[in-house]
């Protein structure tokens, strides 16, 4: 189909400690922190003529399976599988010197946990949150 671009990617990861013992315990067989077993990504872009130039619509998605944030693989220090979706709609004149449009990141407002750090001596965990749903406009120059 003219004007359509599709991209797909996949990753399977077996990132487990083979033999890991420390003063705080035996973590052999546990999954390494921030190592999803499955990661998928895809992008679809469609470009068509309009107003003497071209419109471009693009959406991309990334999926990652459950991750742990520590070597103990504690459930409270983990995050379930997540899918993040971004989108963009823009217009470009026929000489392709610039492009103007709108964009959105994490458009379905998926919770985005970047890290969980246990502060066990004080009885709580510290969460580092990633970027929330974000929208904007853009102007891009090509030279």
pLDDT-above-70 percentage for the chain: 100
Q: What is the mean pLDDT of each run of 10 residues along the chain (143 residues)?
A: 95 94 91 96 97 96 96 94 97 94 96 90 89 95 90
Q: Which residues pair with 14 in a beta bridge?
A: none
* Residue 45 β-bridge partners: 5, 58
Enumerate residues 6+ apart whose C-beta is below 8 A from 95.
none
Q: What is the DSSP string of 78-141?
A: EE--EEEEEEEEEEEETT-SEEEEEEEESTT----EEEEEEETTTTEEEEEE----EEEEEEEE
Average pLDDT, the chain: 94
Query: Which residue ranges make up each domain of the chain?
Result: 4-141
């Amino acid at each position: 189909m003219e004007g359509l671009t599709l991209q797909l990617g996949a990753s399977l990861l077996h990132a487990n400690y083979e033999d890991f013992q420390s003063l705080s315990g035996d973590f052999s067989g546990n999954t390494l922190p921030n190592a999803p077993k499955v990661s998928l990504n895809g992008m679809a872009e469609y470009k068509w003529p309009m107003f003497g130039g071209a419109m471009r619509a693009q959406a991309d998605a990334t999926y990652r399976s459950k991750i742990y944030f520590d070597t103990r693989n504690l459930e409270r220090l983990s995050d379930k599988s997540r899918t993040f979706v971004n989108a963009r709609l823009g217009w470009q004149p026929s000489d392709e010197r610039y492009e103007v449009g709108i964009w959105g990141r994490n458009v379905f407002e998926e919770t985005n946990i970047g890290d969980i750090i246990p502060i066990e001596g004080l009885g709580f965990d510290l969460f580092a949150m990633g970027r929330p749903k974000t929208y904007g406009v853009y102007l891009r120059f090509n030279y």
